[in-house]
Amino acid sequence: MKRQQFRTPSALPGFGMAYGFAWAYLGLVVLIPLAAVALYASSLGPARFMQIATEPRTFAALKVSFGLSLLAAALNAVFGLLIAWALTRYRFPGRRLLDAAVDLPFALPTAVAGIALSAIYAPNGWIGALLPFRVAFTPLGIFIALVFIGLPFVVRTLQPVMADLDRELEEASATLGATRAATVFRVVLPTLLPALLTGFALAFARAVGEYGSVIFIAGNIPYVSEIAPLLIIMRLEEFDYAGATAIATVMLALSFALLFAVNLLESWSRRRLGHAR
Amino acid sequence: MDLKIRNLRKDYGRFPALNGVNLDIRSGELIALLGPSGSGKTTLLRSIAGLEIPDGGQILFGDEDALQKSVQERNVGFVFQSYALFRHMKVFDNIAFGLRVRDRARRPAEGEIRRKVLELLDLVQLSGLEGRYPAQLSGGQRQRVALARALAIEPQVLLLDEPFGALDAQVRKELRRWLRQIHDETGHTTVFVTHDQEEAMELADRVAVLHKGDLQQVGTPDDVYDLPATPFVYAFIGESTSLPVTISRGQASLDGRPLALDRFDAPDGPARLHIRPQDVTIQSEDGAVLTGAVVGLRRSGPYRRADISVGAGHARIEALLPPDVEIAIGDRVGLAFSRSAVFPEDEKVLRKAA
Amino acid sequence: MRAEVIADPTSESRLARFAIILLSVAFLAFFLILPLGAVFVEALRKGLETYFESFSDPDTISAIELTVLVAAIAVPLNVVFGLAASWAIAKFDFRGKSFFVTLIDLPFSVSPVVSGLCYVVLFGAQGYFGPWLAAHDLQIIFALPGIVLATVFVTFPFVARELIPLMQEQGTSEEEAALSLGAGGFRTFWSVTLPNVRWALLYGVLLCNARAMGEFGAVSVVSGHLRGLTNTVPLQVEILYNDYNFVAAFAVASVLAGLGLVTLAIKSGLEWRYGDEMSSAHRR
């Protein structure tokens, strides 16, 4: 029996150096600092930890962050699907420009997006002044900011999959008598589902942790429009490291669970459907 | 269901994919569309299916104008080159798809669908694999699922695009025999596209040879092999060599010397004489059609191949000879042809003559 | 002829197509392009003169200087990491590779605020190393090192992410050829591997840089908001905005937005011109 090797032998040099350096850097910059948060939170003990995590204001903030992120990611899933489809399948004037514009939320710093959104939706803002109800300084404002930052995740995850979509599948469906609608719902969408779920999860994860684009438009009213990341900052300003790390740990745990789910989904769809994403 | 294709035209940008094709496909026959890539064979097949919209001409299913119908309405079974199986559906659901997407009035009950799918799985010898996903099947198995799926809708005509193209040689031979068997059992009018002449000849009742958007010849495998209608068919199907000759009142001559061949029914002027290697025999120089010098000699399977230089130019003829033939490089030999054909040099003249 | 009777079997009806395009354009215009426009319109609301005056504020100038300095330290660090990690991952097979790749993506799924918090817990006044640092008169939090660390954390995966898929697609045969021709390891990397990924590397650097200069949440936690000292440009935007100095806030923000737009333009240009030399995700 051959002993299983850590690494397949290769003629190329430099693995040890590159791999060692990458681990050291990753460890120092990311892993140890993250572990420090978890360690600090765990030193509180389970009882104290639970007490902080379920404190009404914390609980309300987590609910706002997760609930609105879920809604925003859902809206992005629907419109991201339409937009990705229009951008990959149709040719229309301005398509390239629109395609580039999808990356705007990646390119615009969050604080810039934040003040721009509040200028638009503030009660005396561009759109805010026209609406009979308030958008800025309410959960609706947070929702709009979270839609803004989440959209590219859905579109950019779907686009390559749509581009690789085998037209023959749709042709096969048509020769078998399926109407276009039946082809879209029974053949195209199920094929896109893993990528759509991945995009949804990425948009959701990003929205949960979002800070810069939200705080300007949110109004930050405790129990109503206060998001979890803001609460972490407030606890830090009070030098309440315990409170800050406890909330952070809850958020980390949920994002890692999501990340894990995405990886699971991708490997499942690769295995079952015989292709990546 | 017989199919009539009348003067079908299709252009992609500037070059024509179909250049006024006429073809009658008889009910129940198995016909091959044969040609090199770019010959228009796939465009013709996809036009029949309704996946391409031709620029002009007619396609009749029986007496019905198929061009007035969408793909969905044409009820054709199409087997794609890469099979196009739905990856997210199990084998069973793939085959059932065409029945399940029918409108309520025409949709069979689920029990009926189940019975039919299992019957088809039995036909394609895949019983027991209905719960698998396409990714869990071999290439040959996927091919069979694709065929079963196409057959499930009880198509008026079965169309296959390079059905064995993606398979390795061993599986290909097996499936070829098996497809013929299925065809004979089910009796569907079947059209398949291939670039492999051996596949077309072995499998089809008739072969339609296409080249650059033109239909060159339609006939039984014997016809196209033994009596090629055009120089292209001569060159494309089987092996052949050709000599530049001149025709004068039906008499062919090479470099001014008349050849001892029967008169050809061809117009006067420059032409090419086509001969297949196996139709060449070696004899003494006296009374030979042609004489030449052996310039190359090599063993090829059960035969010996000889390259023979003839005429004043450097024209060569290839001959397929028995292995025990007693010739050596440098020998002068006489040649006789058991079969040959001549075509005018200019293809335009040819088309007029044809 | 009868083409209008028979629709393209792999496309939607004209009406559906039109509706989908219209919805997409409307959604993008409303949610993405409108905010971008708002930045520039608000910045120029009181004319060009006021716009340019905003940049004579010494606090703003020092914020710009600090941001450039932070990016100049953080980006090269992440480039070195990105090259090392992608070399190891793309050119070698080893156990635990996919786990390693997942770890590299980790900062993407961590809230920027939590990234900042990490360093506060380690180096803050009441953090693990706080007392030791105080005793030696070293300051990390509320100072340049903390801002650099937080920036490195959030921009960590950008370069590696662009390089890994491309280097994987390219395989190892060219490197093996170079080695067989007698080139050393470093020479092989420098003259074979690096030129093959140059556009992807440039793209990664641009993304990393744009994010480094625009990072808000993480930096906000570790900076301490000391005007003229530890304020980066995005933090300066926040301060100006909260001071109701809207024109100045949007003017400074417009610089960041401009940086983002330039990055986007170069990215689109790279994808258009060198798409086949980038990983398949960028080929359009």
CATH code of B245's domain: 2.40.50.140
Using CB atoms, pick whichever of A10, A25, A244 lies closest to residue C117.
Answer: A244
Same domain, B102 and B15: yes
Domain shared by B69 and B196, yes or no: yes
pLDDT classification of C280: cutoffs 50, 70, 90: low
- pLDDT bucket at B269, cuts 50 / 70 / 90: confident
B103 shares a domain with B38: yes
Nearest CA in chain C to B51: C9
In this structure, are B195 and B290 located in the same domain? Answer: no
More confident residue, B266 or B35: B35
Q: What are phi and psi of B24, to 5 degrees?
A: -105, 125
**pLDDT tens-digit readout, B285-305:** 888 888 889 999 999 889 999
Q: State how many domains chain B has.
A: 2
Task: Evaluate if residue B190 carries a pLDDT over 90.
Answer: yes
pLDDT at C282: 64
Identify whether residues B9 and B79 lie together within a single domain: yes
Return the pLDDT at B344.
Answer: 85
* Domain-ending residue, one of B183, B207, B232: B232
Category of C149 on φ-ψ map: left (φ > 0), alpha (ψ -120 to 50) or beta: alpha
> Tell me, what's the pLDDT at A148?
96
- List b or e across B177-202, with b for residues whose CB sees 16 or more CB atoms inside 10 angstroms: ebbbebbeeeebbbbbbbbbbebbbe
Query: What does the DSSP 8-state code read for residue B225?
Result: H
Res B184 pLDDT > 60: yes
Q: Which of B50, B55, B56 sits opposite C9 (nearest CB)?
A: B50
Residues 29-68 on A with a CB inside 8 Å of C are: 29-34, 36-37, 40
The pLDDT tens digits of the residues spanning C167-208 come to: 998 888 899 888 888 888 888 999 999 999 999 999 999 999
Can you give the pTM of this predicted structure? Answer: 0.86
Say yes or no: B209 and B224 in one domain.
yes
Question: Residue C1 and residue B70: Cβ atoms within 8 Å?
Answer: no
B31 and B55 fall within a common domain = yes
3-state secondary structure string across chain C? CCCCCCCCCCCCCHHHHHHHHHHHHHHHHHHHHHHHHHHHHHHCCCHHHHHHHHHHCHHHHHHHHHHHHHHHHHHHHHHHHHHHHHHHHHHCCECCHHHHHHHHHHHHHCCHHHHHHHHHHHHCCCCCCHHHHHHCCCCCCCCHHHHHHHHHHHHCCHHHHHHHHHHHHHCCHHHHHHHHCCCCHHHHHHHHHHHHCHHHHHHHHHHHHHHHHHCCHHHHHHHCCCCCCCCCHHHHHHHHHHCCCHHHHHHHHHHHHHHHHHHHHHHHHHHHHHHHHCCHHHCC
Instruction: Examine the domain organization and report whether B228 and B256 are in the same domain.
Output: no
Question: What tens digit of pLDDT does each residue of B51-108 get?
Answer: 988 999 999 999 999 999 989 999 999 999 989 999 889 999 999 999 999 999 999 9
Instruction: Inspect the interface and report whether the beta carbons of B50 and C6 lie closer than 8 Å.
Output: yes
Give the integer Cα–Cα distance in Å for B203 and A100: 52
Largest CA distance in chain A: 76
Q: Distance from B26 to chain A by nearest Cα, in Å?
A: 21
pLDDT (0 to 100) of residue C208: 94
Number of neighbours of residue B70 by Cβ within 10 angstroms = 15
- The fraction of chain C above a pLDDT of 70, given in percent, is 95
Closest CB to A148 among C35, C241, C264: C35
pLDDT at C2: 42
Do B332 and B258 share a domain, yes or no? Answer: yes
Rounded to the nearest angstrom, the minimum Cα separation between B54 and chain C is 8
Which residue in this structure is represented by tokens 């491309």?
C166
- The tokens describing C238, both together, are 């926040």
| Co-location of B200 and B304 in the same domain | no
C-beta atoms of A176 and B98 within 8 A: yes
SS (H, E, C) chain A: CCCCCCECCCCCCCHHHHHHHHHHHHHHHHHHHHHHHHHHHHCCCHHHHHHHHCCHHHHHHHHHHHHHHHHHHHHHHHHHHHHHHHHHHCCCCCHHHHHHHCCHHHHCCHHHHHHHHHHHHCCCCCCCCCCCCCCCCCHHHHHHHHHHHHHHHHHHHHHHHHHHCCHHHHHHHHHCCCCHHHHHHHHHHHHHHHHHHHHHHHHHHHHHHCCHHHHHHHCCCCCCCCCHHHHHHHHHHCCCHHHHHHHHHHHHHHHHHHHHHHHHHHHHHHHHHCCCC
Q: CATH number for the domain including B218?
A: 3.40.50.300
- The count of other CB atoms within 10 Å of the CB of residue B74 is 26
Chain C nearest-CA distance from B144, in A, is 24
pLDDT of residue C1: 40
| Cβ–Cβ contact A273 with B under 8 A | yes
Residue with tokens 């990390």: C140
Question: If pLDDT is split at 50, 70 and 90, which confidence band does B350 have?
Answer: very low
Does residue B41 share a domain with residue B104?
A: yes
Q: What is the reported pLDDT for B257? A: 84
Q: What is the pLDDT of residues A26-43, one digit of tens each?
A: 999 999 999 999 999 999
Which of B21-25, B157-161, B245-249 bottoms out in mean pLDDT, i.e. has the lowest? B245-249
C92 contacts in A (CB within 8 Å)?
A: 7-8, 10, 12, 15, 19
Identity of residue A197: L
Between positions 54 and 83 of B, the ones with CB within 8 A of C are 55-56, 67-72
Q: What share of chain B in percent tops pLDDT 90?
A: 59
Burial A49-66 (b: 16+ CB within 10 A, else e): beebbeeeebebbbebbb
Q: How far is C76 from chain B (nearest CA, A)?
A: 44
Answer with the one of B172, B207, B232 that is the final residue of a domain.
B232
Which residues of chain A are within 8 Å of residue B88 when distances are taken between CB atoms?
190-191, 193, 273
Q: Chain B contact for C182, CB < 8 A?
A: no
Q: Note the pLDDT of residue C274.
A: 81
CB contact under 8 A, B98 and A274: no
Same structural domain for residues B80 and B106? yes
Domain housing B251: 239-352
pLDDT exceeds cutoff 60 at C60 = yes
Mean pLDDT of A259-263: 82
Residues of A in contact with B153 (CB under 8 A): 176-177
Q: What is the pLDDT of residue C83?
A: 95
CA pair distance B233, C269, nearest whole angstrom = 49
Question: Are the C-beta atoms of residues B279 and B337 closer than 8 Å to each other?
Answer: yes
Question: Final residue of a domain: which of B214, B232, B250?
Answer: B232
Q: Is the pLDDT at B20 greater than 50, yes or no?
A: yes
The per-residue pLDDT for C284 is: 47
Residues from chain A that touch C245, judged by Cβ atoms under 8 A, are: none
A181-219 pLDDT, tens per residue?
999 999 999 999 989 999 999 999 999 999 999 999 998
Q: How does residue A1 score in pLDDT terms, banded at 50, 70 and 90? A: very low
Cβ distance of C7 and B50 shorter than 8 Å: no
Strand order across the beta sheet in which B280-283 lies:
B280-283, B332-337, B290-300, B303-310, B315-321
Report the pLDDT value the prediction gives residue C12, as an integer from 0 to 100: 87
Residue pLDDT, tens place only, A103-143: 999 889 999 999 999 999 998 889 988 889 888 899 999 99
Chains that touch A (3 or more CB pairs under 8 A): B, C
HSE toward the beta carbon, residue C248, CA cutoff 13 A: 21
Question: Chain B interface, mutation test: which of C6, C8, C11, C12, most B Cβ atoms within 10 Å?
Answer: C6
A75 pLDDT band, cuts 50/70/90, is very high
